Structure formats: structure tokens, C-alpha cells
Chains A and B, each alone.
Chain A
Amino acid sequence: MKWLQNRGIAIVGFADTPLVRNSGRSAAEIAGEVVGKLLAEARLERRDIDGLAVTLAMSEAANPFWSNLLAEHLGLSPRWCQATDLGGASNLGNIARAAAAIQAGMCEAVICLGADAVSSHDATNQTGHRTEFCTPVGYSGPLVAFGLLSTAYNARFGNPERALAKLAVAQRAGAVANEIACEVLRKPITEQDYLASRFVSHPLRLLDCVMRCDGGYAVLVTSTQRARELGYTQMVHPIAYRELVNFDPGQTVDELTTSGFSVVGPEALNDAGVRPGDIQMLAPYDDFLIAVLLQLEQIGFCRPGQGAAFLAERAIGFHGDLPINTGGGQVSAGQPGLAGGGVNLIEALKQLFGKAGPRQKPGVRNVMATGIGVIPYAHNWSSSNVAILERSA
């Protein structure tokens, strides 16, 4: 999608809900709230929307007709409609899919939608190796996978816990200043709090991990030309996008920590014609803090093994020189199931539209957002994607 650098695709609006633990709501109800808000704020009618891209919802995982049901619930009649199942990478993946559908002439204005109520109801049943070769032998969830990954990293490069403590504190400060973050998480923490938090899957601590919640978001994607016709003056262009599923299936990489970001990170930077130092803000997918450090190294912000030193050197808070997940990320704002990547994405858009309130970095022109999805067998993660978003001049 190197043509994205022509800035022909525009994000012109977005909406989100507060993140709430055990809200008791349904994903459809959350979807209705964000789409209603988006249409009102974007001053659009339903007839202006001819595309719909949704993430799956863990709370509705038994329903094989999810995107069509949402179209019916919401009164939309799209010419192009799809559900994306890249796990946590689906959110960013839908922005790219919407861009491709617009470019291909299938539709002109797409709502990218994520809504999940997984903390109220989890309907997932991951068949395959998970139910046959993982859970029966003791696998209890992603924290096991990331505990394993952390040990492998520590053995190679040393334990980055001091740097992760700094990241935990910075992201938490963002959540405290973010009105949509889960209320239970909106309390400042210190590096000592992080280091003293209990081990859940050694060396992984409680404060390394996301907490599930309910919530959702919607993003309006159209062509830059159509955006101008509709009278939008403020817009954000995705200028590069790369994704990769099932990195290294033949297991040619002889260690556990190298992920698909080692491929798609440098590719996305190259597509946009920028260097890591040109990126002004990061919105990396953060199911676990170690994932952020691995991405910094593998996308190319620093060399392998230098992630801890990089985090120690840079000011990563929302008023810093390289802010990371200014709204708290998922680790400190909450993970609304498969809409989780929307937490990172929407905060990036708030910053680029100048709507990040007390967390606003003045004049930010670009943000790199990422996605991670799905835990494979004895590997790191399946889906890796990277987008570079840029505010129009």
C-alpha cells in the first residue's frame, strides 16, 4: 500500500466510549453508542456511509454473522462490509482494509468499528492447539505466553524491569489524565509499585498486564477528495501500513523474541520515507509492557537488546520528547476485548486532531500506531501491523 503516501485516504472523525469493567452492557449497545456519536459529530447521515469494517467481539464470538448483524442493528446499508479477525491487530487492519476498499472503488465512506463487552461475557472457544495442546497441559492465558517471552528476552539481553517500571508509570499517568480510562486504574503508581506488584507468571508482574473491560470506538475513513467535498478541513492521513500474519512458520529464527515487527516495522518506515527519529509519538499495542519494548527494538527505534536503555534515555510521558501511549494504553486504560487496539488508535487520533485535553502534545504531526494479535503455539504472537498516521498540513 505504498500509495498511502500520496495522502489520498483521510480519517475525518472518531468516537469512543468510556472503558468500564463488567458494565453489563452488550457489544451491540456499545456499537450503537459510538456510531451514533460519530454520525452526530461528523455531521453525516447514514446514507453517506457505504462501508463497514468491524472487529469481532469476544462477547459475541459464537455469532458467525457479526458484521451483518451490526449493519442491521445500526441501520447501515454498506456496499462493502467485513469483519476482521486479526485479533488485536484487527483495529488498525480495518483502517487499511477500508483504505483499500475505497481505493478499489467499492465504497467511499467507511465506518471502522470495534465494540466488545468481554469483561461482562466471554463467548470465545479457541479450538485447535489451544484446547488440545495448551490448556490441558497447564496454559492459563496470554500471561503464560508473555511470561515465557519475557524469560527468553531476559536470558538474551538481561531483565529490563527498571525500564518497564518507567513505562508503567508513564502510561499510568496518561490514564489518570484520561477520562475514558477504567476508573479502577486511574490512580497514579510509582516505579516501586510496579516492581512490588505480584508475579502472575514469573517474570511477568500484575502491572505488566492488561485488565479486560468493555468498550468501543468508531472511526470514519474516506478518500481525501471526498473529505474535501464533504467540507472537512481537519483530517489525518494513514501514510504507511504493513501487516504480517504467522511470522516465520518454518521456524528459521532460532529464538523466541523476534516477531513480525522485525519485518513490517522497517517496511512501514521505508514506505513512508521516514526514519524512526522522524516519528513524534508512539501508540504501540500493549497487551503486556514487554511487547512495547520488543516493538521499539524490532521496528528500529533502537537495536535488539537496547530497548531498556532507549526507554531510560527518552522522556516518554505525554509531555515528553517521545510520548508513548499517552492515554494510558491498554495496560493502564483497560482492554475492551478485540476492540482493544482501538484504545491505542483512538488516542493517536485524539492527539493528531488536537483533542487530547490535558495530555495534548502541542503540534504533534505524526504518530506510529501498531497492533498485535493472537497467541500461536510456542511462538511470540501471530499478527503484527504498523501504521504511520499524519495530520494534514
Chain B
Amino acid sequence: MSESRTPIVETDLTRPFWQATKQRRFLLQYDPKADRYQFYPRPISLYSTAPLVWREVKGEGTLIAHTLCHTPAPGFAALTPYILAIVQLAEGPRVFARVADAKYEELKVGQKMRIVWGDELGDGREYLFAPAN
């Protein structure tokens, strides 16, 4: 029996982010007063008391860390082993996601990455990383 993936249960706070993923757009919260972006979505700005706005970003960044996971999360058994990574986006925030189209041995901390979109959730909402070139 294969377990299914943990469903994404969006909240009022995160709904704009998940709605945008359906159009394959990646949004960050932006604090116009502090001129800082943040991710994951928070109830308030981490940097000032200014109201946050959502901004679409290109999804380009730098590989901070990666691991080859042999112990799958629910619903990921068929993909195992799979690569998980933390990428620091050009706008500043770090994002955690799976890596597509790469071999673990060939990835190097510091290399350029970009967000790509996967179809395995059935609605195109899965954001992944791939080497930028």
C-alpha cells in the first residue's frame, strides 16, 4: 500500500501564495518600508510594522544546502532517493523544496538554481528547484 502525499492545507494567510502556484507563479511577502522579502508567509513583517504585500519573483537563487533523502515523506516512496535543497533566492529568503533534473553528486553548494514546476500533485502547484543553466 502506498501512502499518499500530505495534502497542502492552505490558510487565509497563505491562500494568495497557493492560488498563484496554480498559475505557476511564485510569490513572496514584501515589506515596502524595510525593503525586505520573506518566506514562508508570516502573519506580520519580520522587519517592520508595515503592512505586507505579495510580489511575484523569478525564482532564481543560490544553492545553500542539499541532501539525498533515502527515507521518504508520505507519498514520496516511488521517487526515493530524492534530492531536497535549500535555495536562497536573489530577493533574500531561503526556500526548501525538492530538486528536479539533477544528480546529487553533481550539485555544488553555491551554484545557481531556479524554481521549476512539477505536475505530480495533479494541479501543477509543486514548486521544485533545478540547476539554472
A interface residues (Cβ-Cβ under 8 A, vs B): 129, 131-141, 143-144, 147-152, 155-156, 198-204, 249-251, 255-256, 377-379
Contacts and interface: CB of A to CB of B under 8 A. Distances in A.
A52 to B, nearest CB: 33
Given A138-B98, A150-B67, A204-B67, 17 more contacts: A134-B96, A137-B96, A138-B69, A138-B76, A138-B82, A140-B73, A147-B84, A148-B66, A148-B67, A151-B109, A155-B109, A200-B71, A249-B46, A250-B36, A250-B47, A256-B86, A378-B86
B65 interface: yes
A144 B67 CA distance: 7
Interface in B86-112: 86, 92-98, 104, 108-110
B76 A202 contact: no
22 contacts: A132-B9, A133-B96, A136-B5, A137-B96, A137-B98, A138-B79, A140-B72, A140-B73, A144-B67, A147-B84, A148-B65, A152-B109, A200-B71, A201-B68, A201-B69, A202-B104, A203-B67, A204-B67, A251-B94, A255-B64, A377-B40, A378-B64
Contact of A256 (B40, B47, B65, B104): B65
Nearest to B126: A137
B84 A378 contact: no
A304 B74 CA distance: 36
Contacts of B49: none
Nearest to B74: A135
Contacts of B10: 132
Given A132-B14, A201-B70, A202-B70, A140 B94 contact: no
B71 A141 contact: yes
A140 B69 contact: yes
Interface residues of B, number: 43
B67 A201 contact: yes
Interface string B43-79: 0001100000000000000001111111111101001
Contacts of A133: 40, 96
B65 A198 contact: no
Contacts of B96: 133-134, 137, 139, 377-378
Nearest to A150: B67
B46 A131 contact: no
B1 interface: no
A149 B65 contact: yes
B82 A148 contact: no
B133 interface: no
B86 to A, nearest CB: 5
Contact of B73 (A139, A149, A256): A139
B68 A136 contact: no
Given A133-B40, A139-B73, A139-B84, A202 B68 contact: yes
Given A129-B40, A148-B66, A250-B47, A140 B92 contact: no
Contacts of A135: 6, 73-74
Contacts of B122: none
A99 B20 CA distance: 50
Contacts of B92: 251
B11 interface: yes
Contacts of A148: 65-67, 84-86
